[in-house]
A and B are shown apart, each in its own frame.
Chain A
Amino acid sequence: MKRDNLRIIWPAVPVLLALVVITILLFVVGADPITTYSAFWTGSFATAERTFSTLAFWVPLLLCATGLLVTFTAGLWNIGVEGQMIMGAVGASWVALKVANALPNIPGLVIIPLELIIAFLAGALWAGLAAILKTRGGVHEIFGGVALNSLAIIATNYLISGPWQPPEGGTFRGTQPFPAHTLLPLHGDTLFSPLSLVLALLVLLVVMLTLKGTFWGLKLKALGKNLSSAFMMGISSEREAIIAMMLCGGLAGLAGAVRVLSWFDSLRQSISGGIGFLAILIVLLSGMRPLFTLVIALLFSALLTGGSIVQLRTQLHSSISGIIQGLLVLFMLLFGDYRKVIRKRRVVKPAPGGDA
């Protein structure tokens, strides 16, 4: 078989392997695989309502994944994407709660873009902090990101239970619902906002073109593959790293805004729902190819959305979605790169202590 064909067909191999293992697993726990798989289908795409639900979950996932395409290209592990998303949600909530309250006459046409812009900025600054910690403080972005994630969660909890608590008294659940004109226009009775999908797809397209066709995209690629060589070729690693992080943070912030302005209607305790971490997995699995990212993100949101119907039909706990997801990830990581599978494994010894 020609190498190119192999490369295109290969991704099916780990998916099929995972399906085989999942089927065996379902037999073992006594569930009928056919019923389970059809329940997944019913739960995610069979009716218009379920489809929109899947799409509504897909949009923020896609936004985060798009941002991560940028940072992964630059060789940065932006684990802080979760916190950046939360800060974006906080920014959007601030506009929806405080600005809309102070200036009640501003129409939605102005307030919604303002929310998105503030969300973008908030996410970008939060990411910028992680970037500065890395370039100036020598704190690896993974550790900085984890710390900032916790801080973002603490900040939300403080706001919900303190200054932004609903008038009837503070709970840990959330703020009061935002005024209707500050929310993203939804499709019918669903939680899906078509506007947000258009935005997400547009952003993905722009990022795709940027990474492929612009000088900046090429610089990021070089930076991600070899920092020292890139520096020697005149690329300022610090500047590009900060910009890449901030762009990713901004997009994660938009995802946060989409969560509070369509999926929820207020700032909640757990607005992220693990979407940031899931997006990291998706980008890793897609091998940083934007179109794969798009598809895998859709698959994962279908799996998660379908989980509840599976529970109803088969009495399996809805965490089955997570198990299936985990197995898919495991098999893709194990067998996803055909070159690694085919190539003879060599034992690599550590480099010598010194060279004369």
Chain B
Amino acid sequence: MRVELQEIRKIFGDVRANDGIDLTFEPGKIYGLLGENGAGKSTLMKILSGYQPPTSGQILLDGQPISFSAPDDALNAGIGMLYQSPLDFPPLQVIENHLLAYDNRLILKLEDGSEELKAYARRFGFEIDPERYVDTLTLGERQQMELLRLLALGAELLILDEPTTGISAEQKEVLFSTMRRLAHDENKTIVLVSHKLEEVQELCDQVAVLRQGKLIGTQDIPCPTSILVRMMFGEEIPRSEQPAFEEGPVVLQINDACIHTYRLAVEHIEFEVHEGEVIGFAGLEGSGQGLLLRACAGLIPLRSGEILLDGKPVKGKRSPVFWLPYLAYAVFIVRLIWLLVELILGRIRGVQLAGGIVVALLLSGAIWLVGTIIESWTSVAPYHEFYAQGGAFVPAGRLDEGLVAGLSLTEHMILAAPEHSFMVNWNAAREEIQKRINQVNVVGRPESDVAELSGGNQQRAMIALLNAPLRLIMLEHPTRGLDVTSANHIWGLFQQRRREGTAFMFISADLDELLERSDRIAVFSGGRLIQIVRASDTSVEELGYMIGGEQV
């Protein structure tokens, strides 16, 4: 099956996620789709797999135009997508999960289905036990299960979205050899969405590179990696001169920090951030830089090691009356022992013992309840201590974590202000936010609901809400969605804060921004801190290599 994408355009608000993309996928070949985060790879593949319709443009299957209203349509037409996070049902058995895709009428054909599933698994070199429960499988096995389902449903074109994230090396080998067999022996088309250069080099016959929603070009593989890097990240452009940075006292110290999540382990990170310094975190999304940044703000717990803000660990405050709930347990146990003693001495009877235990339970339960309530009133979360010590965290999800949709800018100002009075002083807050709105160029009025602002203005609003002075500002993608002028303006404001001693740590997918704005760049790949380099000593190309996991 030959699949052609013609002039595909997808526009979200004022963002052109896909901007007129033409691509052709021939049968029997493995294609790679390369690009940075936000280059438009996922959007394009979601259009091809029927998940969302394009704003304009069309899809041709063997020369016939077709449109999909749901992923089901695409699958019926032979296009199947393997999503990055498995779309399966963890509480079900493998075979049940498999049969869900079919119209089973009334009675499940469990035995026939199992045989079929096993036959498919043998044919493609997977090992899978239909009886097992999905939630006991590894990510790689779940992926295999999903692939078998797509193949059994007759997929001719398979889209694999970052399939090697989170699976073991052997599983990757099996996956790749299966892909080769499917393409070269069974004449199917494979599209591998990835940003890992080595994988693309290893598996693909041809790659298409996207950047900022546009198709930069296609390239036959093998080819020198440098060509791909240049296509992905663009030509090097001359940079503005970096303001000199003098090493001041340490603001944040990271000692041998390890963070473990179910997906990724970040191990043994160690570095320092100084007053007035800007540290940029480079790496593909999910390489560990986001976890580390959040751990530094006290938002995720460390498995081991410590992170010190101005010499003090960011641990939160335990309540001074944390022992109160334990007192309740003690009261209960003491009372219980006393009752038993009385029973043994013959002073009470069995019935009275039972009654006594109930009374003791009620009494200690009441103490426990009151104690826990007081305890939870008086303890402080680690992030809130970080916040109180002059730290700030500007998350990427503007309306998810940064701003409260439904509240006005003035209301945000009141919440974010360092000092609070019991009754709100609306006028003072309005004046203050107006001042900041002017300073940061937010298009909006103090009484505007933040949900009604455009994405870029929400970004500016979050920056306007940062108080001064601060010790450390952490930002996830600080200028995403902003044009060059506004980005320059915001970084200009940050420069001023730097001179006042504020340190910055930020994540960005834009290598030019990292090079231009940072003093040092920490490059992450697969949970490892590959290297910390001086921004003035490196280049886009070098960063591209390091992001792909290669030491320079």
Name A residues whose Cβ lies closer than 8 Å to a Cβ of B. Answer: 125, 128-129, 131-132, 135-136, 213-216, 218-219, 221-222, 225-226, 228-236, 238-239, 242-243, 246, 349, 352-356
User: Assuming the A-B contacts A132-B376, A215-B422, A229-B404, are A356 and B193 also in contact, with contact meaning beta carbons closer than 8 angstroms in the complex?
Assistant: yes
Residues of chain A lying within 8 A (CB to CB) of residue B406: 225-226
Q: How far is the CA of A131 from the CA of B401 in the complex (A)?
A: 23
- Tell me which of B113-121, B221-229, B365-373 binds A: B365-373
Residues of chain A lying within 8 A (CB to CB) of residue B399: 226, 229
Residue of A nearest to B37 (CB): A356
Please state if B384 and A236 are interface contacts (CB–CB under 8 Å): yes
Which of B369, B405, B407, B420 lies in contact with A132, CB distance below 8 A? B369
Please state if B424 and A214 are interface contacts (CB–CB under 8 Å): yes
A interface: dominant SS:
helix
Q: Can you list 6 A-B pairs with a CB-CB distance of less than 8 A? A: A135-B376, A214-B423, A233-B415, A246-B373, A356-B37, A356-B42
Please state if A132 and B85 are interface contacts (CB–CB under 8 Å): no
- Which residues B388-410 have CB closer than 8 A to chain A? 388, 393, 395, 399-407
Residues of chain B lying within 8 A (CB to CB) of residue A219: 415
Residues of chain B lying within 8 A (CB to CB) of residue A242: 373, 376-377
Residues of chain A lying within 8 A (CB to CB) of residue B161: 354, 356
Please state if A215 and B416 are interface contacts (CB–CB under 8 Å): no
Please state if B407 and A222 are interface contacts (CB–CB under 8 Å): yes
Please state if B401 and A229 are interface contacts (CB–CB under 8 Å): yes
Residue of A nearest to B161 (CB): A356
Q: Contact residue range for chain B?
A: 35 or more
Of listed A213, A218, A219, A225, residue having the most chain B CB within 10 A: A218
Residue of B nearest to A246 (CB): B373
Please state if B411 and A218 are interface contacts (CB–CB under 8 Å): yes
Name B residues whose Cβ lies closer than 8 Å to a Cβ of A. Answer: 37, 41-42, 46, 51-52, 83-87, 161-162, 193, 195, 285, 366, 369-370, 372-373, 376-377, 380-381, 383-384, 387-388, 393, 395, 399-407, 411-412, 414-416, 420-424
Residue of A nearest to B416 (CB): A233
Residues of chain A lying within 8 A (CB to CB) of residue B87: 353
Please state if B46 and A352 are interface contacts (CB–CB under 8 Å): yes
Please state if B383 and A225 are interface contacts (CB–CB under 8 Å): no
Q: How far is the CA of A181 from the CA of B424 in the complex (A)?
A: 43
Please state if A225 and B370 are interface contacts (CB–CB under 8 Å): no
Q: How far is the CA of A238 from the CA of B51 in the complex (A)?
A: 38
Residues of chain A lying within 8 A (CB to CB) of residue B383: 231-232
Residue of A nearest to B411 (CB): A218
Residue of A nearest to B42 (CB): A356
Residue of B nearest to A245 (CB): B373
Which of A215, A236, A354 lies in contact with B424, CB distance below 8 A? A215
Please state if B395 and A136 are interface contacts (CB–CB under 8 Å): no
Q: How far is the CA of A236 from the CA of B416 in the complex (A)?
A: 13
Please state if B407 and A225 are interface contacts (CB–CB under 8 Å): yes
Q: How far is the CA of A355 from the CA of B369 in the complex (A)?
A: 43
Please state if A354 and B83 are interface contacts (CB–CB under 8 Å): yes
Please name 15 further chain A to chain B contacts, defined as beta carbons within 8 Å, in addition to the given A229-B401, A352-B46, A352-B51, sorted by A numbering.
Answer: A131-B373, A222-B404, A226-B404, A226-B405, A229-B402, A230-B404, A232-B401, A234-B388, A234-B415, A234-B416, A242-B373, A243-B377, A353-B86, A353-B87, A354-B84
Residue of A nearest to B194 (CB): A356
Please state if B372 and A228 are interface contacts (CB–CB under 8 Å): no
Which of B84, B372, B415, B423 lies in contact with A213, CB distance below 8 A? B423
Please state if B401 and A353 are interface contacts (CB–CB under 8 Å): no
